[in-house]
Structure 1
Amino acid sequence: MALSWLKKSKKKSLSISTFGPSYQKISYKELHNATNGFSLENLIGSGASKSFIAECEALRNIRHRNLVKILTACSSIDFKGNDFKALVYEFMPNGSLEMQLHPEDGLKQLRSLNLLQRINIAIDVASALLYLHHHCQTPIIHCDLKPSNILLDDDMIAHISDFGLAKLLSKSGKEAFLNQLSSAGIKGTVGYAAPEYGMGSPLSTNGDVYSFGILLLEMLTGRRPTDKLFKDDLNLHNFVKLALPGQVMEIVDHSIFNEVGENDNTVSSWSDWTSGQTECLILVFQIGLACSAQSPIDRMDMNRVALELLSIKRKISLEA
C-alpha cells in the first residue's frame, strides 16, 4: 500500500466517516507494521491537518482511472499519544515517475522509458487534469503536479497522487476558492509552480497547466527544472525553446532511445529512428512549451493538449 499521513496535530479535522461506511477501519499499529515502520518507500507525503483535510475534500467525490484510489483511512493515536491521521492508497508497483526519470545510482537500469511510454504517461496525466478542471462537479486545482506525485501501476498507467495542496473552485466563472484548507502561502514546488504565483496572483487551473508543461519537458529532456545548468535567464522552458527544431537530438534524454532487447540487455536504437518519430518528438516538445508559457493566457487548453497527444501517439504507432 502507498501512504499519505499526518501526525502531531491536536486540531479537529474532517471526520474519516466523510468517505462513507465502505472504507475498512485500520489502526495505527496495523499501518505501522504494514509499512515497515512508515518506510519512505511507502510514503507519498506528510503534512499538517489543513493539508490532510484538503486531500479528504478533494478526493471524497472524484473517481478517475488516472487518479490514485483510496483503500482506507486511519484516525487514531500513535505510540506516543499524538493524534494520527492517514490516507492509504492502492499500491503502485512501478513507483513514481520521479524514480523512473531520476533513479538512484544503483537503479540506473530503470531509466528506460521509451518515447511511446512517456507519451502514454503524459496522456494519462493530461486526462486526469482535464477531468479535475472541467468534469468534476466542483473544479479542482491540484497545485503540486510533479514527477514524485505521479505513480505508475503494473501496466505503467499513471495516477496523480498527493492532493494535500488541492483547491476547490467556485463555478461563478471566477477563480475564487471554496476552501482555504491547505497551508497559506504554499502554492506548489519550486520549478513546477507557475511564475504568476510568485507575484501574488490567485491560483487557477492555468497554474496546473504550467506545471504539466514543465513536467512534459522534464520527461523528454531528463532534466529537472532545478538542474544546476539553469541559472540567470536560462530555465528549462528556454533551454528547450532555443534548441527546437534543429537541435532537438542534443537536448533529448538519450535513455528515450534505449529498448530492452534479448537477454534483457539494453541496446541503443537511436540509429533506427525515423524522421517521422523525430517530428513527433518535436511536436511533444512544442506542447510542453505551449503549456509552460510565461503568461497564463498564452497556455494551451488541457482539452486540446489531450487531443494533440493522442494524435501524436497514433503517428508514432504507425511509424513503429
Structure 2
Amino acid sequence: MWLMLLIIYTIVVAYALDYLHYRCGVRRDLKPSNILLDANMVAHVGDFGLAKIFSLELSDANKSSSGHVRGTIGYAPPKYGLGNEVSPSGDIYSYGILLLEMLTGKKPVDSMFREGLSLHSHATSALAGDFVLQIADPMLLRDDVKEGSLISLLEIGVRCSSEYPQD
C-alpha cells in the first residue's frame, strides 16, 4: 500500500511540474514541505517558504542573483549555487532528490552525507551494487513490495537528480 501511494504521489507531482513549466512558466522550490496532500491524498505543489513578491516583469523572476541561492539546500541543483538561471531542469533535479528522499527515508542534508557522499551517490551505489532493499525506507518494505518497482523508482530519482541536466 505505501509503495502504491508513493507511486501515485510522484506521478501527481510530476504532472504538477509539467503544468507549472509548460502552461504557467513558473518554477518552484520543490521539497517535501511545499507539497501538500488534500483529503483525497491528491498532491498539490506550492512555494510556501520562499514566497516572493513577483515584479511585473516575469523575466526578472527567473533570473539569478548573486546575492542569494534560489531554492533550498539539498534540493536545489548545484548549478544554482554558481549563479546560473533558474530553469525547468532545476525543478527536475529537485524532483529526483524528493523521490530519493521518499524511497530511502533520508533527507539530502542528513549527517551521513558528507565528504563527497550525497543522497544521489548513495542511491547510485545501491543500484550498481544491487542492494536497493537495504537502503529503502523500512516503511515501504512492510507490504509485499516488488523489488523491481523500487529499482525503477530509484532509477528515475537518480536520473532526475544528476548534476548535469543533459544526463
Into which bin does the TM-score normalised by the smaller protein fall? 0.7 to 0.9
Q: Tell me how far apart the structure 1 counterparts of residues 115 and 36 of structure 2 sit (CA, whole Å).
A: 32
| 1:181 to 1:239, Cα distance in 2 relative to 1, 3 A | closer
For residue 40 of structure 2, give the secondary structure of its aligned residue in structure 1. Answer: coil
Q: Tell me how far apart the structure 1 counterparts of residues 37 and 159 of structure 2 sit (CA, whole Å).
A: 25
1:140 to 26, 34, 42: 26
**Structure 1 residue runs of 4 or more that deviate by more than 4 Å after TM superposition:** 165-168, 181-184
> Which residue in the other structure is 1:126 paired with?
14
Choose 1 or 2 for highest CA Rg.
Answer: 1
Root mean square deviation, CA, Å? 2.4
Per-residue deviation, 1:253: 0.2
**What are the equivalent positions in structure 2 for 1:42-191 lying under 5 Å apart?**
114-136=2-24, 139-142=25-28, 144-162=29-47, 164-165=51-52, 178-180=59-61, 185-191=68-74
> Which residue in the other structure is 2:138 paired with?
254
For residue 60 of structure 2, give the secondary structure of its aligned residue in structure 1. Answer: coil
Q: Which amino acid aligns with 1:230?
A: F
Which structure would you say has the larger RCO, counting Cα contacts within 8 Å and 6 or more residues apart? 2
Per-residue deviation, 1:201: 1.1
Q: Tell me how far apart the structure 1 counterparts of residues 53 and 134 of structure 2 sit (CA, whole Å).
A: 36
For residue 166 of structure 2, give the secondary structure of its aligned residue in structure 1. Answer: helix
2:99 to 195, 198, 216: 216
* Partner deviation per Cα, 1:241-267 (whole Å, 9 max, x = no partner): 001151001000011123xxxxxxxxx
| 1:284 to 1:181, Cα distance in 2 relative to 1, 3 A | closer
Per-residue deviation, 1:181: 8.7
What's the TM-score once normalised by structure 2's chain length?
0.87
Q: Which amino acid aligns with 2:10?
A: A
The question of whether the paired residues in 2 share the 8 Å contact of 1:165 and 1:187 is answered with no
Equivalent pairs counted in the alignment come to 161
Percent identity at matched positions?
44
List runs of 5+ in structure 1 lacking aligned partners.
1-112, 171-176, 259-268, 299-320
Q: Which amino acid aligns with 1:247?
A: F
Is 2:165 the counterpart of 1:279?
A: no
What's the TM-score once normalised by structure 1's chain length?
0.47
Q: Which amino acid aligns with 1:114?
A: W
For residue 16 of structure 2, give the secondary structure of its aligned residue in structure 1. Answer: helix
| 1:254 to 1:284, Cα distance in 2 relative to 1, 3 A | same
Q: Which amino acid aligns with 1:157?
A: V
List runs of 5+ in structure 2 lacking aligned partners.
none
1:291 to 135, 138, 160: 160
Which structure shows the bigger proportion of residues in strand conformation?
Answer: 1
The question of whether the paired residues in 2 share the 8 Å contact of 1:141 and 1:166 is answered with no
| 1:250 to 1:166, Cα distance in 2 relative to 1, 3 A | farther
Q: Tell me how far apart the structure 2 counterparts of residues 179 and 166 of structure 1 sit (CA, whole Å).
A: 11
